[in-house]
Every structure is written in C-alpha cells, then in structure tokens.
Amino acid sequence: MLMAFLLVVVVEGENVSDNRMLFKDIYRCNIFATAIEQGKWSPNDRTYYRQQNVTAYCVPKMVGANTKLFE
C-alpha cells in the first residue's frame, strides 16, 4: 500500500471529481487544487478573482502499489 493524494473538486455543492484523480505528491496536487479554485489558465497568471461555488482540495488516501498516480 502507498499513500497518495486525491484531488477533490466540488462545484456548487456537488462533488465532480472521481477516485482516479490521484497524485504521488501533495504539493503537485495542491498546485492543481489552487489553479482550479482560482480559475488560472497558466502557472504565471495573477489571481484576479476566485471562482464562486468552486472548491478544490487534496486528501490523503491509501492505494495499492499498482495504482496509476499523476506525477
């Protein structure tokens, strides 16, 4: 078993993510979570506004050794 980090995305109170959004590294997962919440188009975008009713965060999850993980 390995510890991975699941990206959870909630739009207007509804979970729109699934269990395949697994990352090997919490920091990489958080980059995606922040970009989703802030509506960024590229890593160099400035944050002008936060998207309303969109929340994204990462949670730890134990997965099998053969599970495909995003880098």
| pLDDT tens digits, 10-53 | 999 999 999 999 999 999 999 999 989 888 777 777 766 667 89
Total domains in the fold of the chain: 1
Cα–Cα distance between 32 and 26 in angstroms, integer? 10
> What pLDDT score does 44 carry?
75
In a domain, 47, yes or no: yes
- pLDDT for 52 equals 80
- For residue 71, tell me if it sits in a domain: no
Between the alpha carbon of residue 35 and those of residues 1, 17, 31, the distances in Å are 29, 15, 6
Is residue 69 included in any domain, yes or no?
no
Domain that holds residue 55: 2-63
Tell me what pLDDT residue 18 has.
92
Q: H-helix or E-strand containing 11? A: strand 2-11
Q: Is 52 within a domain?
A: yes
Among residues 2, 17, 19, 6, the alpha carbon closest in space to that of 66 is found at 2
Q: Which pLDDT does position 47 carry in this prediction?
A: 65
Four-CA torsion 54, 34, 39, 18, nearest 10 degrees: -50
